[in-house]
Chains A and B, each alone.
Chain A
Amino acid sequence: MRHQLSLRIGPASFRIGSAWRQPVAQLAQLYADYPQVGGEVADFTVRLEPAGPLRQWVRPSIFITGDHGLADAAPMSLTHGLLAAEMGMNLQMALGWRRHLLLHASSVEKDGRVLIMTGESGSGKSTLAAQLGERGWRLMGDEFALLDLVTGSVFPFPRLISLKNEAIGVVAGEAPGERMGPLLKGTAKGDIRHLVPRADAVARMEEGAKPALLLFPRFGHAADVRPVGQGEVFMRLTQASTNYVALGEPGFRALTRFVQEVPARAIDFPSGEAAMALVQQLWDERT
């Protein structure tokens, strides 16, 4: 491919090839402080290809694929090339990673213990993780938490944090501008802007820790905290995992253990500040 870059993020390495210069240049800039692993064997290949024979030049349109692809993935505009590259890496992980149980969740760490937040898109888990990451927690990732199949530890996958719509303004008020990527307007999920994790998150990206609390956040409701039973937690996490079925018995054992050992709460909150207070309160109360 004409333009390429190799990156390591947490335990996984990616070789990203693109028909266009722009997405690779933007990645290189935002991931400048991550280990550059060009010349090594990559776990995954990501390809950003023209969606049709002429689509490299005329109304450029990106088809995201690689080692693992989805035939019916919708093509994206070149102006969203950075997002396409990020989605390409997600896609490889979601479909191909087997070395941990993947939980579609954000996670942050403090004092050697991990707080995990999972929920649908729009639940506020990315925003919460980004804000906590700016306030003394170590950000581990906003997309996937990697659960070790043997030890039960959670490992980071600290890619760029993807902030959507209102969350962009909220987090931009706390994070320095040089760690923010370009504003991508009008994507399938509205406006998106990426945030580079703080230096400590990158420096310690191979370091796992034990999970201590699981939250199911829900943004846009009056503040509330509810316990969640183990059966429901188990079901929700199998749905939040892209490789639970593929892992078979080891995945089942890891998830069972996680559900039994990690207390879980559903939390509703009307604003970011309310959420911060709730999270801190539950963190301090945890047993």
Chain B
Amino acid sequence: MSGALLVGALREPQSVAVLDSPGWNALIAAARPERLIGTLALRVDEALTPAAVRPILADARLDAEREARQALWEADRAAEALGAPVLLLKGTAYVAAGLKAGKGRFIGDLDILVPRERMDDVEAGLRSAGWEWVKQDDYDDAYYRQWMHELPPMIHCERDRMIDVHHTILPLTARQTPDAKAMMADAVAITERLSVLSPEDMVCHSVAHLLADGDLAGGLRNLWDIHCLLDNVDAERLAARAERHGMGRHVAQAQRLAAALYGSGVRQRLTVWDRLVIWRLLARDGWGRETRKLLRFAFYLRSHWLRMPPMMLARHLFTKWRKGYRPV
């Protein structure tokens, strides 16, 4: 399974020295869709790679550099549009703060966190600076506004880059309710215009998205983020902060998972649930295809179960299905 191959290469970069050509093909085919090829390219020592692999990894490093440059530029544009400092989340925050988690990281959208009471101003500010709605569908738009933790995604009309404006951490219907106000209060300024979450809140935020939300698609990268972010935190402060956000159990699980997949030291005992999550995370074959279809579908259902009360979930899935959406 190439998911395991990818995890092994990130954990111990020198282990790639033993790979043959089919092994490299499988590793690259997994790293690209998991969006970890840039990270891999920065960790692996060129001297250990065959000649045919070097240009592939060099290209990935180039792409990662561009991602970082573009992400910082977008963050700057958003701060300019809002006329106020912006609190960055996820990839852009890691790059802006120069963290290990940002090294080689693929960055899709710009994610920012703003107080809920400022949402109307923020929306107006972004629209006048050229951002437009992506979703034309009235159901989706109303759904986002009523139930989600973010505005419907917007895209810049000239630069084609998306922005996600969050006002809290998880959907309003979710079972956990991390304290976004506390996160904003403890944010750390890194320039005059940009700030990021405190190291402990960064972990909580990343864990919330990996384990209390979503179906774990692309989870290997999120877990890599967490693995890197854990280097910067104080264990006691993290535990206290996780309790405050109602995330104690999830943070503890993320620590076990990160140690099991990416850690080099002693591993903690894994639960059956941990093993299921790992099985889901590693579901990719040597051609880059996602495998374990039933398991993935189960996680997809679970992600919705976590987000919504049962009747609402049934109504939502029915509406999406009628519109032609198929999950897998």
Contact = CB atoms under 8 A, between A and B. Distances in A.
Interface string A243-261: 0001010000000000000
Interface in A1-43: 1, 13, 15, 17, 39-43
B59 A67 contact: no
A67 B29 contact: yes
B176 interface: no
Given A68-B32, A98-B62, A15 B288 contact: no
Interface string B1-44: 00000000000000000000110110011001100000000000
A15 B63 contact: no
B25 A45 contact: yes
A39 B289 CA distance: 20
A67 B32 contact: yes
A144 to B, nearest CB: 16
Interface stretch (B48-56, B102-110, B164-172): B48-56
Contacts of B50: 41
B321 interface: no
A80 interface: no
A204 to B, nearest CB: 21
A45 B56 contact: no
Given A98-B59, A98-B63, A39 B287 contact: no
B66 interface: yes
Contact of A1 (B24, B52, B287): B287
A141 interface: no
Contacts, number: 46
Nearest to B288: A45
A158 B28 CA distance: 25
Interface in B44-85: 50, 52-53, 55-56, 59, 62-63, 66, 69
Contacts of B32: 67-68
Contacts of B69: 248
A248 B64 CA distance: 12
A61 to B, nearest CB: 14
Contacts of A49: 289
B111 to A, nearest CB: 21
A67 B28 contact: yes
Q: Classify the secondary structure of A's interface with B.
A: loop
Contacts of A81: none
Contacts of B25: 15, 41-42, 45
A67 B21 CA distance: 17
B26 to A, nearest CB: 9
Nearest to A67: B32
A47 B287 contact: yes
Contacts of B52: 13, 40-41, 43
A20 to B, nearest CB: 15
A104 to B, nearest CB: 19
A124 interface: no
A179 interface: no
A229 B51 CA distance: 42
A41 B288 contact: no
Nearest to B326: A52
Interface in B279-325: 287-289
A110 interface: no
B287 A40 contact: no
A41 B287 contact: no
Contact of B287 (A13, A45, A96, A99): A45
A41 B24 contact: yes
A89 to B, nearest CB: 15
Contact of B21 (A41, A45, A98): A41
28 contacts: A1-B287, A15-B25, A39-B22, A40-B21, A40-B52, A41-B21, A41-B24, A41-B25, A41-B50, A41-B52, A41-B53, A43-B52, A43-B56, A45-B28, A45-B29, A45-B288, A47-B287, A47-B288, A47-B289, A49-B289, A66-B288, A67-B28, A67-B32, A98-B62, A98-B63, A99-B55, A246-B63, A248-B66
The 4 closest A-B pairs by CB, nearest first: A41-B52, A98-B59, A67-B32, A41-B24
Interface of A: 1, 13, 15, 17, 39-43, 45, 47, 49, 66-68, 96, 98-99, 246, 248
Given A47-B287, A67-B29, 6 more contacts: A13-B52, A15-B25, A41-B25, A43-B52, A67-B28, A98-B62
